[in-house]
Amino acid sequence: MADDKKFAGYVCTGCGLGERLDAGQLETTATRDGKMQSCKQHEMLCSTEGVQMIKDDIANDAVTHVMIAACSRRAKVEAFNFTDVALTRANLREGVIWVRPDTDENKETTQEMADDYIRMACAELKSMAKPSASGEQSLIKNILVVGGGITGMTAAIETAAAGYPVHLVEKSGALGGAVGSYYKVVPTRSPYDAPAENPIPALSEAIEADGNITVHLNSTLTKTDGAPGRFSVDITTESGTTETVSIGAIVQASGWKPYDANQLPEFAYGKSQDVVTNHELEALAVAANGGPIKRPSDGKEVQSVCFIQNAGQCSDKDGHLTYFAGVTDLVSIKQAMYFKELNGECDTTILFDNLRTPGAGGEDFYRAGQNAMVTFSKGIASEVVPGDSLTVKFEDKILNEQTEMACDLVVLATGMEPNSGPDPYAQLMVDEAEDEAEKAKAQAMLENAPPSILNLQYRQGTDLPHLKNGFTDSHFICFPYETRRTGIYSAGPVRRPMDIQQARDDATGAALKAIQAAENAGLGRAAHPRTGDLSFPSFRKEGCTQCKRCTVECPFGAINEDEEGYPMYNESRCRRCGTCMGACPVRVISFENYSVETVNQQIKNVDIPEEWDEKPRILVLACENDAYPALDQAAQAGVEINPWARVIPVRCLGSVSLSWVTDALNNGFDGIVMMGCRRDDDYQCHFVRGSAMAAERMSKVGDTLDTLNLEPERVILHEVAITDVERAPQLINDMAETVEKIGLSPFKF
Amino acid sequence: MTEVIATNETILVVGGGISGMTAALEAAETGKQVVLVEKRPYVGGRVTQLYKYFPKLCFPTCGLEINQRRAKMNPNLNIISMAEVTDIKGEAGNYTATVKISPRYVNENCTACGDCGKAVEAEFDDEYNYGMGKRKGAYLPHRMAHPQRYVLDSAIIGTDDAQKAKDACKVNAIDLDMQEEVIEFKAGAVVWATGWKPYDANKIQPYGYDRIANVITSVEFERMADPNGPTGGKLTRPSDGKEVKSVAFIQCAGSRDKNHLLHCSRICCMASLKQATYPADDVPITIYYIDIRAIDRFEEFYQKVKAQENVKFIKSKVASIVENKENGNPTLHGVDTEGYNRYADEHDLVVLAVGMEPSVDKASFPVEITINEEGFIEPAPENGGVFAAGCSSDALDVNRAVQHATGAALRAIQVVNRVAATEG
């Protein structure tokens, strides 16, 4: 009820604000223009007393909406963390006095800036409500782990150990995955001096003994419906029986598949039985049953073996893998040591270019290989000639010459390919291909898509989106679990090529994220990066034109469509970026504390001086994660910003509604600067395509400018990084110069 | 007095670098009570001192902003800065930690307005910039420092500067009588994330880091490249301040060497490849290496840098560096093992890709813990409720450290959940 709202403003006069600005005037602006029912000044609002004053007003005077005019919203966050009210902050310190010179001639424009920020904050507050969860959420603690290899088994055990029930689904008839069939593994504990016992049997026992883990063998997911906190998953066995389980969150550990060595005819794979891959060698070692390893062609005990590193990987040749498997040098050392252990005096040679055995364990194990008299030879193999004895031709990099060696067996150290489902954006890649070659490649990918693993009932496809080479999220360095499908975390070699130890660490990390996603979904809280955000998008159905832009453009596949084509929001899949809001041409999508209206009202409440005042106004829409902090830092560093600028932080440039631009121009703003993140393949946008989509949408701004008969230079979009401390203010100042050149907007009423 | 409310269901995180921050935030966002103890006056650790990350060449401060926002918003997380854990007693599910907090001389009133910094005069070597450049005796360690609060260098206490700082402060934030505190609190599990330090280049005598001005370390080069760093982003020679016209990177400086660090530090190859993108295209760059260890997806970045026309690779462990006294150029001596040719190459600037030494003090570790020959904490069951995260477990890049730390958070949660179930 509108009557229950109570708006209170607070103006801080600390940090020089009182000296630089007319606080009485600010108070008047807040009450007269901003319609705050009360407004108080305090000499240090962030102090215990200042905070207590606000708390008391909330408690005693039933204040529901609080406007704090003080420092940046990034400062004193802990002090001003009033979770029971709608809250907005006018940035008078970093936004005004720190970016303006303290001189008499600037006093007027500085005060105008501050007054505007107060008006904007009040206007924003007027159209805001305190965010609260929808009440639709439920807490389901069950975690689903897809894939029963070492990664999935570890994820299951670690999840169960935290007290969460697990459904572990494995396609084949046994747990263990690739590692299950290995003779031994690369050691994961000090002293890293010899191949270690296979951990799978012990893990299998642990799972069997764990009452919290339900294993589904010979099973796949035939349907995954819902959202974090309320997934409904159909697990179907090979024989066709289906069980439906309720799931809170998912770990996808679907593993890897060995590279197809048939693509390496130069190494006689397929022509000689005695050329095997590293994966196949494990079977020979197991078959040896503690005796010497024998070669496949004639059962002769192997007396000399050559390992060819990087066979079909780290190469840009057609059909080869461009990346490194991450583990194959360690694997070859391990396997060379099998021969030393089982075949006595067997000659073992590893042909390598760069031997990649990183970390403490890696380097120790390399040394152990050297101590075991494995020969490491810097050389690049070009050909294997089949015969009773195999001939390996190679370039000796040390002697700089072509040479060859004879051996009984050749092992190709081939790479790992991710076992991921079809990429939901494969079609988009076809559509957006820049040339024919790229298009053909994308088309081939689309046509040869692997079967689905998750069978998600999502508008945007059945599986996790791919990064490069079919691996899944994340590409963020700081946030390896920042997935594009909320509450679904991939782990192990489906995410990136990795060794056993890393896969197990990864599984443990993914298990934590799954548990966290289930818990937060239960509370209606957003997942990373707006963790804890309780607001969620809602839409006015009567205004919706079923254009489907929101359902198509949501970076997280959060929105489904009902039969009539209306969006169906899934609160717990949503990451609160507002991309749907920016996409909506009829402006029916909003958050309680962030909407087309909250920003529009800010724009409309900037005081636009008459044309003859010659005081332009420049609207700056700045991404809250990068551009806004860059501007704050500029303020700290004392970099000047033009007094005509009015900065509004936005959740993501993807949330920017075209109407803000149009309205700002109609209201007499003279220039608009938008600042978003880097948007190439190495995109920085944590909402994936926000910055790119804004760029695309704003390309249409030209028409608007045309209609209004305004110059195109008045609206500009930049990629701004958080480090652009000098550049970000410069871009604003540049716009001020542009405006000066082309003149004021005629739309000043 | 610093108050900490903690129980046997609290998780103690030791070290607030990217691994500790991650473990603390992930646990706190799962609803656990977390106390994070950080030695420096701010969180973020060495990542705050990086200009760019490999292979995306994006800025670490971008992620730092998100992590710090998460920290500010989360009432479950209590950060104690300028503090060190001196003792831990007890067992998994029931530890008592002793924490020593050094005086900051600045209380929570601080608004980071900067008045004290302007008032004081004494300057000190800026540790944030590895001693390149100066900072004031009252300072904010870096612009994004969290907590966003100034620090008074203890060296100015008792001097006029201290009083000047106090007088300049309008919000009564400076407390010159602040004393060192020792506090004790409970914790059910401990995440040990004390990170790493750059290997002391002075110990690699043949490379003359202590004698030759134009031989610097990779961490120093990183600060130099940062536009917000001590040289404003200009790559200059320490000897004469001239712009650098050729750069040599020496890999495995202190790593993979039984005289120094036994282990491969994993990150240095990628760090040098990244740093090879910092100078202008026309600056010749030579990378002296044993193996280029570009793991998994990093291979593509290696190929990209390799394709840069100004970058050359020489497979060689450099034997020694001698300074050309006339121009200050370091001359590198060694043998190129591809073809066995001797070389004596002169460069403008030499960057030592120094290794990662774990900041795990075996001698004074507060609980029984399994530490390997290299000085890293092993994932041993005997460690009880103490779990290593990030570079205290192995030499890791940021991505792997964060991944590892997220797992460590779960291990800690398993312990406190068991406590909750029994005390329930």
Q: Which residues of A touch B410 (CB under 8 A)?
A: 158, 162, 508-509, 511-512, 515
For residue B174, being part of any structural domain is answered with no
What domains does chain A contain, in order, with CATH numbers? 1-130 (3.40.50), 143-255+449-523 (3.50.50.60), 258-418 (3.50.50.60), 538-587 (3.30.70.20), 608-749 (3.40.50)
Whole-number percent of chain B with pLDDT over 70? 100
Q: Which residues of A touch B9 (CB under 8 A)?
A: none
- Please give the pLDDT value at position A749: 66
Nearest CA in chain B to A518: B30
Same domain, B328 and B210: yes
Asked, as a colleague might, if the bond just before A191 is cis with ω within 30 of 0, I would say yes
Cα(A491)–Cα(B410) distance, integer angstroms: 15
For residue B224, being part of any structural domain is answered with yes
Q: Which residues of B touch A469 (CB under 8 A)?
A: 297
- Where in B56-137 does DSSP place strands (E)? 77-80, 83-91, 94-101, 123-125, 134-136
Tokens of A627: 């551009």
CB of B409 within 8 A of CB of A505?
A: no
Same domain, B229 and B318: yes
Residue A1 has pLDDT above 50, yes or no: no
Cα(A120)–Cα(A474) distance, integer angstroms: 37
CB of B212 within 8 A of CB of B347?
A: no
Burial (CB count within 10 angstroms: exposed 0-12, middle 13-18, buried 19+), residue B282: exposed
Cα(B82)–Cα(B71) distance, integer angstroms: 17
Nearest CA in chain B to A527: B29
Cα(B405)–Cα(B403) distance, integer angstroms: 5
Same domain, B206 and B190: no
Question: How many domains, chain B?
Answer: 3
Mean pLDDT for the stretch of residues A555-573 = 94
Q: Which residues of B touch A324 (CB under 8 A)?
A: 294-299
pLDDT tens profile B381-404: 999 999 999 999 999 999 999 999
Mean pLDDT for the stretch of residues A559-582 = 95
Which of A326, A360, A480 faces B372 most closely, judged by CB atoms?
A360
B397 phi/psi in degrees, rounded to 5: -80, 175
CB of B236 within 8 A of CB of B247?
A: no
Mean pLDDT for the stretch of residues A273-289 = 97
In single-letter form, the type of residue at position A556 comes to F
Show which of B355, B380, B396 is a domain's final residue. B355
Cα(B353)–Cα(B348) distance, integer angstroms: 16
Q: Which residues of B touch A725 (CB under 8 A)?
A: 143, 227-228
Q: Which residue has the tokens 């049953």?
A: A289
B253 beta partners: B354
CB of A350 within 8 A of CB of A307?
A: yes
For residue B47, being part of any structural domain is answered with yes
Tokens of A146: 């897809």
Same domain, B73 and B184: yes
Q: Would you call B299 and A314 a contact, using CB atoms and an 8 Å cutoff? A: yes
Same domain, B187 and B215: no
Mean pLDDT for the stretch of residues B370-386 = 96
- Please give the pLDDT value at position A2: 47
Q: Would you call B303 and A529 a contact, using CB atoms and an 8 Å cutoff? A: no
Tokens of B295: 């793991």
Which residue segment(s) compose the domain that B378 sits in?
11-102+180-195+359-423
A378 phi/psi in degrees, rounded to 5: -75, 105
Cα(A366)–Cα(B382) distance, integer angstroms: 27
Average pLDDT over chain B, rounded to whole?
A: 96
Mean pLDDT for the stretch of residues A64-86 = 96
Number of Cβ pairs closer than 8 Å across A and B? 256
Same domain, B326 and B413: no
| CATH number of the domain where residue B307 is located | 3.50.50.60
Chain centroid to CA B408: how far?
Answer: 19
Which of A189, A511, A682 faces B57 most closely, judged by CB atoms?
A682
Mean pLDDT for the stretch of residues A412-427 = 96
Chain A nearest-CA distance from B110, in A, is 9
Show which of B309, B325, B355 is a domain's final residue. B355
Mean pLDDT for the stretch of residues B235-262 = 96
Tokens of A701: 């701004």
Q: Which residues of B touch A363 (CB under 8 A)?
A: 256, 262-264
Q: Would you call B372 and A191 a contact, using CB atoms and an 8 Å cutoff? A: yes
- Please give the pLDDT value at position B165: 98
Cα(A171)–Cα(A502) distance, integer angstroms: 23
pLDDT tens profile A84-96: 999 999 999 999 9
Show which of B301, B333, B355 is a domain's final residue. B355
Chain B nearest-CA distance from A512, in A, is 5
CB of A62 within 8 A of CB of A7?
A: no
Of A221, A213, A214, A254, nearest to A237 (Cα)?
A221
Whole-number percent of chain A with pLDDT over 70? 99
Same domain, B369 and B307: no
Nearest CA in chain A to B30: A516
For residue B109, being part of any structural domain is answered with no
pLDDT tens profile B80-111: 999 999 999 999 999 999 999 999 999 999 99
Q: Please name the residues in contact with B27: beta carbons below 8 A apart, sequence gap of 6 or more.
A: B11, B13, B34, B191, B409, B412, B413
Average pLDDT over chain A, rounded to whole?
A: 95
For residue B3, being part of any structural domain is answered with no
Same domain, B206 and B335: yes
- Please give the pLDDT value at position A225: 97
* Parallel/antiparallel/unpaired status of strands B189-192 and B386-388: parallel
Residue A436 has pLDDT above 60, yes or no: yes
Total Cβ atoms within 10 A of residue A519: 20
Residue B424 has pLDDT above 70, yes or no: no
**Segment holding B155, helix H or strand E:** none
Q: Which residues of B touch A531 (CB under 8 A)?
A: 29, 70, 73-74
CB of B184 within 8 A of CB of B37?
A: no
Same domain, B163 and B186: no
Q: Which residues of A touch B59 (CB under 8 A)?
A: 684, 721-723
CB of A361 within 8 A of CB of A187?
A: yes
Q: Which residues of A touch B398 (CB under 8 A)?
A: 477-478
Q: Would you call A398 and B340 a contact, using CB atoms and an 8 Å cutoff? A: yes
Which of B69, B228, B402 faces A480 most closely, judged by CB atoms?
B402
Which of A191, A363, A481 faces B256 most closely, judged by CB atoms?
A363
For residue B175, being part of any structural domain is answered with no
Nearest CA in chain A to B355: A359
Chain B nearest-CA distance from A644, in A, is 24
**DSSP labels for A707-735?**
HTT--GGGEEEEE--TT-TTHHHHHHHHH
Same domain, B344 and B217: yes
Cα(A128)–Cα(A596) distance, integer angstroms: 11
Which of B30, B65, B148 faces A625 most closely, judged by CB atoms?
B65
Chain B nearest-CA distance from A356, in A, is 5
For residue B108, being part of any structural domain is answered with no
Q: Would you call A360 and B263 a contact, using CB atoms and an 8 Å cutoff? A: yes
Tokens of A446: 């689309």
A650 beta partners: A623
Q: Which of A186, A516, A687 to mutate to test the interface with B (most CBs of B within 10 A)?
A: A516
Cα(B322)–Cα(B216) distance, integer angstroms: 14
Same domain, B56 and B119: no
pLDDT tens profile A461-489: 999 999 999 999 888 999 999 999 999 99
Q: How confident is the model at residue A133 (pLDDT cuts 50, 70, 90)?
A: confident
Q: Which residues of A touch B73 (CB under 8 A)?
A: 77, 81, 531-532
Q: Please name the residues in contact with B110: beta carbons below 8 A apart, sequence gap of 6 or more.
A: B148, B149, B150, B169, B171, B173
b/e burial code for range B49-61 (CB count within 10 A of at least 16 → b) = bbbbbbbbebbbb
For residue B229, being part of any structural domain is answered with yes
Q: Please name the residues in contact with B122: beta carbons below 8 A apart, sequence gap of 6 or more.
A: B136, B137, B153, B155, B156, B159, B161
Q: Which of A396, A474, A723, A724 to mutate to test the interface with B (most CBs of B within 10 A)?
A: A723
Same domain, B67 and B161: no
* Parallel/antiparallel/unpaired status of strands B11-14 and B34-37: parallel
Chain B nearest-CA distance from A163, in A, is 7
- Please give the pLDDT value at position A3: 60
The predicted complex's ipTM stands at 0.97
